Amino acid sequence: MKYKSIILVTALLCAELFAQNFNVKAKGKQTFSLGNELKNQATFFSTTPLEDVEGIANGVTGSVSFDLSNFGETLTGLFEVKVASMKTGIELRDQHLRSANWLDEEEYPLIKFEVVGAENIKQVSDNKIEADVKGSFSLHGVTRGIIAKSTITYLDENEETKKRAPGDLLVIKSTFEVKLSEYEVENNVIGSKVAEDIEVTVNLVGSNK
């Protein structure tokens, strides 16, 4: 009876481990490229008692790779977005955002997120998982560790997906917060017109072709 219990526990642990990975047609290592043609974007939101600011950054580019047999341990990637692509709906405010007093586009033209793995992986369905994606976020010349709450969906190529791009597609939605002071972004309106903590959401699609 004791040995049967051990075997049962082992089987359950193995089943749980397997459930942390995608169950799709493809096998082995996959690399997905995110190009401008897929219209990837990031949105950012600031809320204060005086003013809410919502903006968008188009043209997120990069790539992500992982082995389908071990998603969490093999996940790597690099995403980049140009500071110049950030828009808030008011041109003068956008100019301030890109200026040396804020994000300093001339000195630091790119915002980067380098992925180094994932944890707390939960399989939602055969082709969808939720995970805490770990990485290094670089903004305004400062790089800090960050965790992005993510939902990742693997779409096998079909007639519908081909309308968007050839190959299998990877759809990523992630959210995280950026504390401006941690990236040495300082301005006297932070806390009044612009929040110290900025909410960021990214919606990405990549193809393995």
Q: How confident is the model at residue 10 (pLDDT cuts 50, 70, 90)?
A: very low
188 or 7, which is more confident: 188
Question: In this predicted model, what pLDDT tens digit does every residue of 32-59 receive, in sequence order?
Answer: 999 867 789 999 999 988 889 999 999 7
Domain assignment of residue 2, yes or no: no
In a domain, 14, yes or no: no
Residue 17 has pLDDT above 60, yes or no: no
CB 37 within 8 A of CB 59: no
In a domain, residue 11? The reply is: no
12: three-class secondary structure by DSSP: helix
* Residue 72 located in a structural domain: yes
What are the tens digits of pLDDT across the range 87-110?
A: 999 999 999 999 998 999 999 999
Q: Which residue has the tokens 């560790």?
A: 145
Q: What is the pTM of this model?
A: 0.86
Dihedral of the alpha carbons of 9, 11, 14, 20, in degrees to the nearest 10: -90
- Report yes or no on 4 lying in a domain: no
For residue range 161-191, what is the model confidence (pLDDT) as tens digits?
999 999 999 999 999 999 999 999 988 788 7
Position 17 in a domain? no
Q: Compute the average pLDDT of residues 182-209.
A: 90
Count up the domains in the chain and report the number: 1
- Domain-embedded: residue 3: no
Q: Are 168 and 162 in contact (CB under 8 A)?
A: no
Does 65 fall in a domain? Answer: yes
Q: Which domain range does residue 142 map to?
A: 22-207
* pLDDT (tens digit per residue) in 117-145: 999 999 999 999 999 999 999 999 999 99
pLDDT greater than 50 at residue 14? no
CA distance 46 to 36: 26
Domain with 29 in it: what CATH number? 2.40.128.110
